[in-house]
């Protein structure tokens, strides 16, 4: 009988992605007590119990701050995300946010709505009122202004390139930019080597970093104060990257012109100079499909073949299946003599190794091995008995 894998879906996952999971092999549901996989978007897993049955978590999206990544890693549970799958959607919203702020569009549209309502009541001359009132919304154009981009990953690079093609001077800061992203970045984007320099030289700042300890409160009062008056902060990363109180004070004093963000809060979102969107960055049909397809494919390949692609807590390990063999997946601490002990256990069980891959990432490592011969249940116990082995799975 074919083994089946229960997968719990949290949040609305695009049906285009769910269709990738063959229903003869995967049972999908929102209420599954002992899931092998969890497929989610922004649902908070920090406060949810993690069942022993769980093999993997796939995030249809980029940010994984809603998932206890380190705790799951310590239990040998990979967390996947979908780098770049929603980057274009976010880029487009950031560009829209820059224009909303520069041309005062949000308030201007509100004003027009109000005028039309008043005119309906009073029967006044709408055209006249429009022409008289519009001067209060006069804005500025983007060429000649400087945009500072913090985080040059999938989204930051697209934003930087698009902004420079709109005529802005673009500065970029990312001490850990990858070679791939550096190749994608327009040569006209100027690299700066400190966040301080970026703030001091920018009229607009846009954030494209994960919410981690190092990025909490990255936009603070001192950095805002170093910007030229009339600055704009765009936050499509996560609420916690910005000290919102500092932003509100700078908006009140007039030092900042606008704060455009995707993460509403009770205190911030009612402020007249705040444009708060309801976490819309990835909310396009295209992005939702892309993320769901990528997450479902990665989860399925892991459950069926043990392959790890785009995991935030384990290394990339992808190995073609060797016909006529049984596959084992083993997570272990990244320390000396682990491979020696694992292969010794296989030899002891009379198994011949047909293919073997081992890779490490930080403190942890993952091994995929295809073995020839009958794999007895006791093998798992002898592998788990090796000091430093975290989890072992016979994949079939
Ligand atoms: N609003 C939305 O709907 C939405 C959608 C997608 C992503 N996001 C957020 O945007 C973030 C970025 O997404 P991405 O797809 O570009 O991710 P990514 O992993 O491709 O890029 C993140 C970049 O940030 C850099 N970085 C990390 N710490 C930094 C620091 N202290 N200073 C400067 N750079 C730093 C990394 O080196 C990396 O290049 C996500 O983590 C998520 O929180 C929001
Ligand atoms: O799923 C979403 O709608 C938002 C996803 C976004 O915040 C991300 O980090 O990719």
Identical fold, 1-86+283-314 and 87-101+140-276:
yes
Query: Closest ligand to 211 CA?
Result: 1
Q: Atom 9, ligand 2: which residue's CA is nearest?
A: 63
CATH topology of domain 315-396: Alpha-Beta Plaits (3.30.70)
* Ligand 1 first shell, C-beta below 6 A: 61-63, 83, 86-87, 90, 150-156, 173-174, 176-177, 208-211, 214-215, 236-238, 262, 279, 281-282
Largest CA distance in the chain: 93
User: Quick one: fold of 1-86+283-314?
Assistant: Rossmann fold (3.40.50)
Buried/exposed code over 328-344 (b: 16+ C-beta within 10 A; e: otherwise): bbbbbebeeebeebbbe
Distance from residue 122's CA to the centre of ligand 2 (Å): 45
The domain segmentation of the chain, as residue ranges, is 1-86+283-314, 87-101+140-276, 104-138, 315-396
Over the stretch 39-79, which tens digit does the pLDDT of each residue have? 999 999 999 999 999 999 999 999 999 999 999 999 999 99
DSSP codes joined into one string, 31-87? --SS-SEEEESS---TTS---TT--EEEESSS--TTS-HHHHHHTT--EE--TTTTH
The CATH T-level fold of domain 87-101+140-276 is: Rossmann fold (3.40.50)
Q: For residue 1, what pLDDT is reported?
A: 58
* ipTM for the whole predicted complex goes beyond 0.95: yes
User: pLDDT tens, position by position, for the chain (396 residues)?
Assistant: 578 999 999 999 999 999 999 999 999 999 999 999 999 999 999 999 999 999 999 999 999 999 999 999 999 999 999 999 999 999 999 999 999 999 999 999 999 999 988 877 777 789 999 999 999 999 999 999 999 999 999 999 999 999 999 999 999 999 999 999 999 999 999 999 999 999 999 999 999 999 999 999 999 999 999 999 999 999 999 999 999 999 999 999 999 999 999 999 998 999 999 999 999 999 999 999 999 999 999 999 999 999 999 999 999 999 999 999 999 999 999 999 999 999 999 999 999 999 999 999 999 999 999 999 999 999 999 999 999 999 999 997
Q: Whole-model pTM?
A: 0.96
Distance 215 CA to ligand 1 centre (A): 10
């Amino acid at each position: 009988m074919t083994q089946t894998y229960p997968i719990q879906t949290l949040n609305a996952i695009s049906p285009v992605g769910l269709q990738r999971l063959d229903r003869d092999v995967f049972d999908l549901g929102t209420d599954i007590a002992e899931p092998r996989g969890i497929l989610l978007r922004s649902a908070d897993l920090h406060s949810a119990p993690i069942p022993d049955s769980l093999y993997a978590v796939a995030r249809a999206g980029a940010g994984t701050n809603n998932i206890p990544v380190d705790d799951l890693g310590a239990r040998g549970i990979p967390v996947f995300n979908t780098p770049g799958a929603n980057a274009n959607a976010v880029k487009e919203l950031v560009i829209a946010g820059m224009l909303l702020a520069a041309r005062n569009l949000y308030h201007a549209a509100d004003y027009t709505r109000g005028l039309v309502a008043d005119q309906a009541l009073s029967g006044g001359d709408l055209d006249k009122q429009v022409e008289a009132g519009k001067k209060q919304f006069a804005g500025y154009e983007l060429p000649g202004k400087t945009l500072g981009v913090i985080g040059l990953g999938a989204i930051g690079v697209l934003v930087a390139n698009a902004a420079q093609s709109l005529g802005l001077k673009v500065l970029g800061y990312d001490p850990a930019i990858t070679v791939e992203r550096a190749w994608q970045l327009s040569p006209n984007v100027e690299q700066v080597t400190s966040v301080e320099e970026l703030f001091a030289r920018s009229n607009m700042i846009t954030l494209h970093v994960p919410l981690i300890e190092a990025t909490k409160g990255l936009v603070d009062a001192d950095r805002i104060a170093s910007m030229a008056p009339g600055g704009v902060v765009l936050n499509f990363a996560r609420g916690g990257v910005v000290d919102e109180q500092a932003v509100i004070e700078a908006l009140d004093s007039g030092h900042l012109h606008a704060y455009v963000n995707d993460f509403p809060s009770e205190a911030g979102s009612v402020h007249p100079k705040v444009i708060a969107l309801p976490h819309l960055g990835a909310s396009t049909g295209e992005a939702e499909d892309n993320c769901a397809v990528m997450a479902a494919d990665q989860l399925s390949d892991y459950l069926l073949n043990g392959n790890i692609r785009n995991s935030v807590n384990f290394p990339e390990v992808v190995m073609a299946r060797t016909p006529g063999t049984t596959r084992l997946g083993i997570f272990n601490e990244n320390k000396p003599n682990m491979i020696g002990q694992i292969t010794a256990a296989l030899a002891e069980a009379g198994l011949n190794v047909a293919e073997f891959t081992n890779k490490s990432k930080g403190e942890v490592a993952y091994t995929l091995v295809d073995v020839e011969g009958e794999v007895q249940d006791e093998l798992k116990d002898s592998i788990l008995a090796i000091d430093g082995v975290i989890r072992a799975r016979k994949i079939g």
